[in-house]
């Protein structure tokens, strides 16, 4: 009888440990799914961005300082002038405030594509280009 109790205890213990190992990944996936469900550019005034910006929901990182999520986007391009080109890209930054998801669209512009590739809000002090932050209604929050 003691062997049965021991076996039952080990099975339950192993199951609990296995669940704890999977839980953080599942929780993060649930958070991303909730963010994705709430995200919308329907009120964004720029039709080009509204129609062409695609969020890469599987390409993100979490900022441990403020628990924000930053997602890469499909809208990366260049602006060509007479003698020079400028490169730009967008990131979606999401954080929780008072139980609600808050969204910011970050735009980075640089003359050097390598410089642009390493641009993030978390690394903004090392970025030599310009950046702007917008809310999802197109209001400029920061330049």
Secondary structure string (H, E, C) spanning the chain: CHHHHHHHHHHHHHHHHHHHHHHHHHHHHHHHHHHHHHCCCCCCCCHHHHHHCCEEEEEEEEECCCCEEEEEEEEEEEEECCCCEEEEEEEEEEEEECCEEEEEEEEEEECCHHHHHCCCHHHHHHCCCEEEEECCCCCEEEC
What pLDDT was estimated at residue 13? 53
What pLDDT was estimated at residue 11? 46
Whether 67 has a pLDDT exceeding 70, the answer reads yes
User: pTM of the full predicted structure?
Assistant: 0.75
């Amino acid at each position: 009888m003691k062997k049965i109790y021991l076996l039952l205890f080990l099975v339950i213990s192993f199951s609990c440990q296995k669940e704890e190992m999977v839980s953080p990944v599942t929780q993060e996936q649930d958070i991303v799914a909730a963010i994705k469900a709430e995200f919308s550019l329907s009120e964004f005034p720029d039709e080009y961005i509204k129609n062409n910006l695609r969020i890469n929901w599987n390409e993100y990182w979490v900022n441990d300082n403020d628990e924000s999520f930053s997602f890469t986007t499909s809208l990366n391009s260049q602006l060509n002038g007479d003698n020079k080109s400028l490169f730009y890209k967008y990131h979606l930054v999401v954080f929780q405030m008072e139980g609600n998801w808050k969204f910011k669209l970050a735009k980075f512009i640089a003359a050097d594509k390598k410089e642009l590739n390493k641009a993030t809000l978390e690394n903004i002090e090392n970025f030599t280009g310009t950046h702007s932050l917008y809310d999802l209604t197109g209001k400029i929050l920061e330049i």
